[in-house]
Chain A
Amino acid sequence: MADTSHGVGGLTYDKSKRSLPNELNIFMALIIIVVIFEILGQVLPYMNNQSFLFDTRDRFDSIFNEARLQIIILQVAIIGIIALGVTQVIITAGIDLSSGPLVAATAMIAMSFAQTETVNGFPNPKALFGTWAMDLPVIIPVVIGLTFGAFIGLINGTFIAYFRIPPFIATLGMFLVCRGIALWWSGGNPISFPTEAYAWIGSGMMPVVWFVVLAIIFQLIMKYTVYGKHTYAIGSNEDAARMSGINVRRHKVMVYMIASTLAAFAGIVLSSKAVTAQAGMGEFYELFAIAMAVIGGISLQGGRGSIIGTVLGAMVLGVIRSGFTYIKLDGSYQLMAMGGIIIAAVILDQYRQRSKA
């Protein structure tokens, strides 16, 4: 009785002819974009026949321009960590706009518990608190930062799930609140000179390590655990989920808490990498995180998409940003072009949905 084709009732089903997963499409798009930049490198008169990814003039022993690849991955890693959480929120048919300012607020708060007492033999000029808060074990600022993030997520989720505030409004409010907290925390002054251990968290390629590890963990969670299944179910049909006995409200709170905790972690990594925390950090991060998810095929209507998609979406965004810099496109044009690409991704997604239905 147990046949492997997963069909019942004698209908035939050809496994080899099932449609390609969405992720493969995004991977193709990624390759096409790289090819376009390669071609632009050849045809644009001011580029001197440079290659985008294969420029190995200085090193004969490698195929790729490793420096550029590293920069691309490093650039997307921190926002990518936020995108992992935003992906889960969007799968429930919600949205989280508060992550960018949350990055700044968490950076300020965590950093203020991660400072060293002396810098080059002098007292830390940026010290926010007294000596009691100096040279604490690194676990303390990290736990404080993550707890703060979880708390913000708890508030977001509670307003959305229990008071039925639309996610857009609730997290927009939190967007302002968090930016306010970031400014208020140290009266607008940057906080600097962290302990060695804290500085290690975001040093070198560490942001990429965190991003990859977290992406793998959440890919597995979304696919193989009850938490993941219920997240998809809620986004797909909230009434059906409720009727099936899922505690929809409690689950939503959990999703927003996980998203905000990830954003807070991104704030810790960012402040560590920059070796300083500033109230203006993380500008547009919430939008780029959403963009990564959307480019990665996460439907804003909920119920569809995967963490792998978002990782690929992050790579697409990183390659485009790096490519624009490579063809010497000005920052202002970059923003405009990026906006266009995000809208195009959504249109493409809706078109695909309609042609499927």
Chain B
Amino acid sequence: MSNEIVLKTEDLTKHYGGVHALEGANFELRKGEHVAIMGDNGAGKSTFVRQITGVEQRTRGEVIFDGKQVHFDGPLDARRAGIETVFQTLALADHLDVPDNLFLGREKTKFDWLGPFRLLNYKEMRQDTMDALQKTGVKIPNIRNTIQNMSGGQRQCVAIARTATFHSKLTIMDEPTAALGVQETAQVENIIRTLKEAGEPLILISHNMRQVMDLMDRIIVFRRGRIVANLRKEETDGQDVVAYITGAKTQEEYMVEGVT
């Protein structure tokens, strides 16, 4: 694992009117590192992600990605820069099949001189889709069926396989397994392991302690819009993390005057 910093936020803050959803977040992610973000409902986890990926515009603070200060206009902008995000709400085209969704917006093509009318390389896209899904153990009876008839878990797997297929500089997943059954959760976790093996950094928002302890290198705990702990997996355990989440403990460097 190199020490190169992929993502860094300084004093990242978001206020919704009077609601201080995110306050002074200082965060670092190194190359190849998998970091979990935990915290109670409403702690500001999704807000943190939305400021990084440009879904919303931050109140103040800096985001440094890949060595440069960035200010994304929207998620597409972030994606172009190399940040793949699986949002809590899925973005799939219902009437298209699995390969179509996987490759939407970055199709494999032939005869590129035809411009917008360049031909789709269906064969290659189907093969790549099969390979990508096979690795993860996802069960889909026919990848050429449209997405609309698939189960929530299958859809989720397609969305996640999409981010895993394209090598990005950073992947962010916001509660990717929240609505999934045991088997589907295992499949998503397989995808996360694949990313780890490929050395691709990941930020995972999750409420699942076992998952976090199994898969992540480091845990960041959010409470009431603030980061209250930065824990290496080897130096902590489930009980310890829960203590930070509930407010029984706060790491010294994150103590703020007047806030407990």
Contact = CB atoms under 8 A, between A and B. Distances in A.
B76 A245 contact: yes
Given A11-B140, A225-B114, A6 B104 contact: no
Interface in A1-29: 1-2, 5-13, 18
A240 B86 CA distance: 12
Contacts of A357: 148
A8 B140 contact: yes
Given A233-B93, A237-B94, A303-B94, A243 B75 contact: yes
B229 interface: no
B79 A225 contact: no
A270 B105 CA distance: 38
B10 interface: no
B31 interface: no
Contacts of A9: 133-134, 137-140
A224 B111 CA distance: 12
Contact of B130 (A8, A246, A303, A304): A8
B93 A232 contact: yes
A1 B116 contact: no
B105 A244 contact: yes
A11 B141 CA distance: 5
B190 to A, nearest CB: 12
Contacts, number: 107
Nearest to A10: B139
Contacts of A227: 116-117
Given A244-B104, A245-B80, A245-B106, A303 B139 contact: no
A210 to B, nearest CB: 19
A328 interface: no
B178 interface: no
A229 to B, nearest CB: 6
What's the dominant secondary structure at chain B's contact region?
mixed
Nearest to A240: B91
Nearest to A18: B142
Interface in B93-126: 93-96, 100-101, 104-107, 109, 114, 116-120, 122, 126
B7 to A, nearest CB: 20
Given A225-B117, A227-B116, A235 B95 contact: yes
Contacts of B92: 237, 240
Given A226-B117, A236-B94, A304-B95, A12 B141 contact: yes
Nearest to B92: A240
A235 B90 CA distance: 16
Interface string A60-90: 0000000000000000000000000000000
A183 interface: no
16 contacts: A6-B126, A9-B134, A9-B138, A225-B114, A225-B116, A226-B107, A226-B116, A236-B95, A236-B96, A240-B92, A243-B76, A243-B91, A244-B104, A246-B105, A303-B93, A356-B149
Interface of A: 1-2, 5-13, 18, 221, 224-227, 229, 232-233, 235-237, 239-246, 254, 303-304, 356-357
Given A6-B144, A227-B117, A233-B96, 7 more contacts: A8-B134, A18-B142, A226-B107, A241-B104, A243-B76, A245-B76, A303-B93
